[in-house]
Amino acid sequence: MTGDKDSPIIRIAHSIIEEERKKGHKGLADKLNSILSEKLEQSYSKHPTLKVTRGAEFKVPVDRRYRLPLASHVEHENLRHHMILSQEIELKIQRIEKEYMARERLAHYGLKSRKKILLHGYSGCGKSMAAERIAWDLGLPFYRVRFDTIISSYLGESASNLQSLFTSISDYPCVLLLDEFDIIGKRRDAKSSDVGEIHRIVNVLLGLLEEYEGEGILIATTNLEDSIDKALFRRFDDFIEFPKPGEREIYDLLRMTFSALKLEKEIDLQLIAKDMIGLSYAIVAKIATDAAKKSILSMKKQIELEDLQKSMEENISLNK
Q: Is 228 helix (H, G, I), strand (E, B) or coil?
A: strand
Alpha-carbon span 204 to 188, nearest angstrom: 12
Note the pLDDT of residue 45: 38
Neighbours of 48 (CB within 10 A): 19
Q: Residue 160 is which amino acid? A: S
| pLDDT tens across the length of the chain (320 residues) | 444 555 566 667 767 777 777 777 777 767 777 776 666 555 433 333 334 444 445 789 998 888 899 999 999 999 999 999 999 999 999 999 999 999 999 999 999 999 999 999 999 999 999 999 999 999 999 999 998 889 886 768 888 999 999 999 989 999 999 998 988 877 666 555 555 667 788 889 999 999 999 999 999 999 987 878 888 888 999 999 999 999 999 999 999 999 888 999 999 999 999 999 999 999 999 999 999 999 889 888 899 999 999 999 998 876 65
CA distances from 277 to 87, 270, 291 (A): 17, 11, 18
The answer to whether residues 147 and 189 touch, using CB atoms and an 8 Å cutoff, is: no
In the chain, the DSSP E strands lie at: 71-74, 116-121, 142-145, 175-178, 217-222, 238-242
- Choices 3.40.1670.10, 1.10.645.10, 3.40.50.720, 3.40.50.300: CATH for 71-242: 3.40.50.300
Angstrom distance (rounded) from CA 173 to CA 38: 23
Number of alpha helices (DSSP H) and beta strands (DSSP E) in the chain: 13, 6
pLDDT at 2: 45
Reply yes or no on domain 247-318 having CATH 1.10.8.60.
yes
Full strand arrangement of the beta sheet holding 116-121: 71-74, 142-145, 175-178, 217-222, 116-121, 238-242
Helix segments in 55-156, DSSP class H:
87-101, 103-108, 127-138, 147-150
